[in-house]
Structure 1
Amino acid sequence: MALTYQDGIAILQLIIFPFILVASLFIWKRTGWRVGSKIWRYPFTLSLIRLAGSIATLISINDDTKNVRIAIFVCQLIGIAPLLLAYVGMLRLIDLEKKIPPRPLALVTLMAFVGLILGIVGISTADTTNGYTPGTLPKAAMGLFLAVYVMVILLTVWLFYVHFFSLLRYQKKLFLGIALSAPFLLVRLIYSALGDYTSNQTFSMASLAENNHTSLTAYLCMSVLEEIISMVLAMVFGVSAILESDFVKPIPQVDPEEKPNDV
């Protein structure tokens, strides 16, 4: 069977995301496995999700069942959460002096995870017999993801203002990575929002399943490429930042109320 447009997009992701996965592991190791887990596990997880979604797409060539189709839809949606949280992690790495109160970061992370859960449940329980139509839960998930994006941008601007006169070289590179990625990330979110909140078939996952060329072109240009570009920028500036001579490895936080064990 000849490869389709959608299969070609899946192959593109299979080519690109292993590099992002390796880069995230490299930065994670240099940052420290323990403390870096709150930062670099998200691009690593995103890479695994995109690879799984691409593999499911290729499996559907000869086994286009409901379960395979649901797997493709789930991977499409849940990748947004680790994508957004990757930038929250970069803010953690920039914020050496802990200027950002822990509650806003915890709230952003919680919102992303709640959106992730709502999206998985919403898609897994949806009736995909006649295609996929977003229900209340996926729409709520998308709303949370949009709110997370806004909060990440606001926290980035505020943190840059606070540190403006005392930025180290590695912090400048991480800020630059977030700033350059932000427009591409926004287009990626707009694409998903249009699919969830409008009836325009160009942005519908049901149209993707039908190999509609117009929908697939929009998917490629507004989702896949935007996501790849944003993550490549984040990884390039992330690698460059940790290789700077002034890079400061984060120190694991210790609970002040935690008491050492009696000997």
Structure 2
Amino acid sequence: MAVVGYRNGIAILQLIVFPIVLVAAIFIWKRTGWRVGSKIWRYAVTLSLIRIAGSISSLLTISNDSYNIKVAVVVCQLIGIAPLLLTFIGLLRQIDVEKRMPPRPMALLTLVTIIALILGIAGVSSSNGEGGTYRPGKLAKVAMGIFLAVFVIFVLLSGWLFHELSFSLRRFQKKLFLAIALSVPLLAVRLVYSAISDYTTLSAFALNGNTTIYLCMDVLEEIIAMGITMALGISAILETDFVRLTPVTQEDTEPKPMAARVSSSV
């Protein structure tokens, strides 16, 4: 009879939490607008789907320990950093209704993160592990370096934007900034865990290393950070002063509060 292990229990936890995150992210995405919101909230949806798929794959290994399922578990576990970072970069877009941040550098930051994701996937595919185990190669290490740089830039941008808007913050912006402030330490721990795993040979931080360290420095960080972000995100979009972003056009380049949109359409 198959036995449910410690890691399988973590997979069950993720399978309970991330469908809730998925529903919350879709709700926020719908409220902010499918078109403009896609640049922000689709990444939270993507992360949730990756974690759900990874959890299912992990549970499948209980009764079917095939190589393909192992690869699916590894890929889902390792590629979550990109959509996690992009979710929080997207929060800055949601906050910046006055277009203080230049759009091209933000688009470039997103593109660089996606390139790192591709490098990470390629690094998994070209893993130089022995006996079916995963050991990060050069591509994976390069990808990790890019993720660390993106995180530092994100923190600096967050501080700069808060300084720029500090005297004119709306209630919904304060809540989104709070989500960032509370999540940054968690993201830092999550990235440190992955960096140690990629750049050192410490067995405790290997892919199948110490499960408690994996739970406390990886899984719980993501769960808590996304839980905070979804809760404050929903609260922010329900604020009366919430500004719904609109595509930039020649006729109308100024985003309008939701209340104003409703009144103007009556």
TM-score, length basis structure 2? 0.91
Paired residues of 2:89 and 2:154 also in contact (CA < 8 A): yes
Among 164, 167, 170, the residue aligned to 1:168? 170
* Residue 221 of structure 1, CA deviation: 0.4
- What residue is the counterpart of 2:213 in the other structure? 218
Aligned AA (2:86): L
Are the aligned partners of 2:126 and 2:137 in contact in 1 as well (CA < 8 Å)? no
Q: Find the counterpart in structure 2 of residue 233 from structure 1.
A: 228
Distance 2:40 2:20 in 1: 18
Q: Which residue, out of 142, 157, 160, partners 1:158?
A: 160
Alignment partners' CA distance in 1, 2:146 and 2:71? 21
Structure 1: how far apart are the matches of 2:71 and 2:250? 42
Amino acid across the alignment from 1:106: A
Separation in structure 2 between the aligned mates of residue 28 and residue 145 of structure 1, nearest angstrom:
25
Task: Measure the CA separation in 2 of the matches of 1:161 and 1:42.
Answer: 26
Distance 2:247 2:107 in 1: 16
What is the DSSP-based 3-state SS (H/G/I as helix, E as strand, rest coil) of the residue aligned with 2:20? Answer: helix
CA distance in 1, matches of 2:34, 2:80: 22
- Map of 1:1-263 to 2, 5 A cutoff? 1-130=2-131, 131-205=133-207, 208=208, 215-254=210-249
Distance apart, 1:132 and its partner CA: 1.2
Instruction: For residue 106 of structure 1, report the CA deviation from its aligned partner.
Output: 1.4
Where relative contact order (Cα < 8 A, 6+ residues apart) is larger, the structure is 1
1:127 offset after TM fit, Å?
4.2
Task: Supply the distance in 1 between the matched residues of 2:50 and 2:72 (Cα, whole angstroms).
Answer: 10
Q: Which runs of 5+ in 1 are unaligned?
A: 257-263
Structure 1 position 62, deviation (Å): 1.9
- Cα distance in 2 for partners of 1:13, 1:140 equals 28
Off by >3 Å, runs of 4+ in structure 1: none
SS in 2 for 1:97: coil
- Percent identity of paired positions between Structure 1 and Structure 2: 59
Task: Tell me if structure 2 keeps the 8 A contact 1:10–1:55.
Answer: yes
**Residue in 1 aligned with 2:263?**
none
- In the aligned structure 2, how far is the partner of 1:255 from the partner of 1:118? 38
Provide, for residues 105-147 of structure 1, a one-character-per-residue CA deviation record: whole Å limited to 9, x for no partner: 1121011101100011110122444211100011111111111
Mapped partners of 1:190, 1:159: distance in 2: 25
Structure 1 residue identity aligned to 2:36: V
**Distance between the aligned counterparts of 2:91 and 2:143, measured in 1?**
23
Q: CA 1:168–1:140 in structure 2 vs 1: closer, same or farther (change >3 Å)?
A: same
**The 10-residue stretch of structure 1 (156-165 or 60-69) with the greater mean CA deviation from structure 2:** 60-69
Seen in structure 2, the aligned counterparts of structure 1 residues 2 and 103 have a Cα distance that, compared at 3 Å, is: same
Cα offset, 1:255, TM superposition: 7.5
CA distance in 1, matches of 2:160, 2:250: 26
Could you list the per-position Cα deviations for residues 149-191 of structure 1 after superposition, in whole angstroms to 9, with x for gaps in the alignment? 1111100000000001000000000000001000001100110
CA positional deviation for 1:253: 2.4
Q: Report if the CA contact (8 A) 1:122-1:135 is conserved.
A: yes
Contact 1:66 1:129 in 2 (8 A): no
